[in-house]
Structure 1
Amino acid sequence: MRVSLPLGIAAVALLLAGCAPTVALEPADDAASPLCAEVTVRLPDAIDEFAARETNAQATGAWGQPVAVVLHCGVPTPAPTAEFPCVTVEGIDWLRDDTDAPSYVFTSYGRTPAVEVVVDSDVASGLDALTALAPAVGRLPVEGACITPEG
């Protein structure tokens, strides 16, 4: 079956219009960890309505166009701190840094290597992002946990 040239060009143009460019990211220091590979292969295809995007760096993920959520596995493990509040989502502790709000930075706590998730809260929900990422991040071994001020 032959397809006319104009129809073929239109089909290719339609396909290319739906393609999002690769998201340029830098890998974290410990991105080559086999544990980060365990996380990366389990990243979701979407977070809410934001489709996964291709990235150019090992142990990273990005969702949305424009990008609404970014993940880096292999960031430095945070030390105990009272500077950032701890939130627990699906059994995973996260330190929440809202210094650059509306861009929130969540760093896993008590797991090595650590995972950093940056959420543009103008368009995405931090809770939804962390919930969607929990099955992947939950593969990392637990080595500690947040404590409450009373604890």
Structure 2
Amino acid sequence: MILALAGCARTIGVEVAPHAAEPECADVMLAVPDELGTDLPKVRTSSQATAAWGEPGAAVTMRCGVEQIGPSADCQQVDSGDGTTVDWIVTTDDAGTWSFVTYGRDPAVEVLVPPAVTEDHSTSFIADLAQAVSQVPATKECQ
């Protein structure tokens, strides 16, 4: 029965980031939470240094090893509530997908939140990722 359940596990396709092989990305992946918010469980992904929560078509995805983004007016500091603060460049595209890219951390981490998730959730669960992305030390902060 365990084999049957393992065969039914969902896998979310997530494109690997250019710098996913950086050692810090392994530390980030080991620290990601098993759940975002109260109802987005972690699911398997198809690529190195990636994570996803939710279900196919309605999943929050994360990639470690994306290119850093320079200073931006879209930079926001997010406090996790335990004293850990992460600076994110926060944008939305025309389709309504939210993009969060860490600022001042190399390698950078990207989190995408599609409209299928934001229909029923706020993006406040981004704070749940603070411990994981803090595995990459910050060298700059939002201005």
How high is the TM-score relative to the length of structure 2? 0.83
Contact map agreement 1:87 1:95 (CA 8 A) in 2: yes
Q: C-alpha root-mean-square deviation of aligned residues, in Å?
A: 2.1
Q: Is contact 2:90-2:100 (8 Å) kept?
A: yes
Counterparts of residues 1-150 of structure 1 (less than 5 Å): 15=5, 19-48=8-37, 49-66=39-56, 67-82=58-73, 85-90=74-79, 91-120=85-114, 121-128=118-125, 130-147=126-143
Task: Return closer, same or farther for 1:32/1:65 CA change in 2, 3 Å cut-off.
Answer: same
Moved beyond 4 Å, runs of 4+: none
AA aligned opposite 1:89: V
Percent of aligned pairs sharing the same letter: 40
Aligned-partner Cα distance in 2 for 1:12–1:26? 27
Structure holding more strand per residue: 2
Distance (Å, rounded) in 2 between the aligned partners of 1:146 and 1:87: 7
Partners of 1:16 and 1:100 lie apart in 2 by: 37
SS at match of 2:130: helix
In the alignment, the residues of structure 1 paired with residue 9 and residue 122 of structure 2 have an alpha-carbon distance, to the nearest angstrom, of 22
Contact 1:68/1:123 (CA < 8 Å) preserved in 2?
no
Question: What is the TM-score of this pair, normalised by structure 1?
Answer: 0.79
Alignment length (residue pairs): 133
Give the C-alpha shift of residue 60 in structure 1: 0.4
For structure 2, list consecutive stretches of 5 or more residues without a partner in the other structure: 80-84
